Amino acid sequence: MFFYVKKNLLSYNIMNFKYIVSKIPTKQLYNVNIYKDITKFGNMNFQIHNDSAILNNLWIDEPKKGHGTKIINQFENYVKFKYDTKQIKLLAWQPQGSTNVLDFYCKNGYTEKEMLRMNYDDGIIIYDLYRFEKNINNY
């Protein structure tokens, strides 16, 4: 269930999360603020290209409690039914030496697309970058 807050701003309530989706028209970019109760709880952004959604920078507070799984499943349903999206693509940022982000996407049915691994050093942490995809056409 959704309602318009104002132009370019949509609000959705799904289970105990509230999503405020705003569109940045010049960049064809959608920013999603995620609330749990009345508290800001996370954020992500995405773009739609043909039949694909490109997900960027998903983060939430209170990790490792199953919230990320619920949110990404709700995101998949949202882009499938609103934009007729057939697949989700993303670039996962995994701090070197750990596997939690990879485990999260693998556990949610994402597969590594190609061995195009790169890394990025922000001056404090070195990240390995992984391309993941999930076909959402079948459900």
In a 3-state reduction of DSSP, which class is residue 56? strand
Judge whether 75 and 67 are in contact, CB under 8 Å.
no
- 100 counts as binding ligand COA under rule CB under 6 A: yes
d(CA 16, CA 100): 24
Q: Which of 25, 66, 97, 123 binds ligand COA (CB under 6 A)?
A: 66
- Cβ proximity of 60 and 77 under 8 Å: no
Q: Does 73 bind ligand COA (CB under 6 A)?
A: no
Least distance from ligand COA to the Cβ atom of residue 62, Å: 7
According to the binding rule CB under 6 A, does residue 53 interact with ligand COA? no
Which residues of the shown chain bind ligand COA in the complex (CB under 6 A)? Answer: 58-60, 63-69, 92-93, 100-101, 103-104, 107
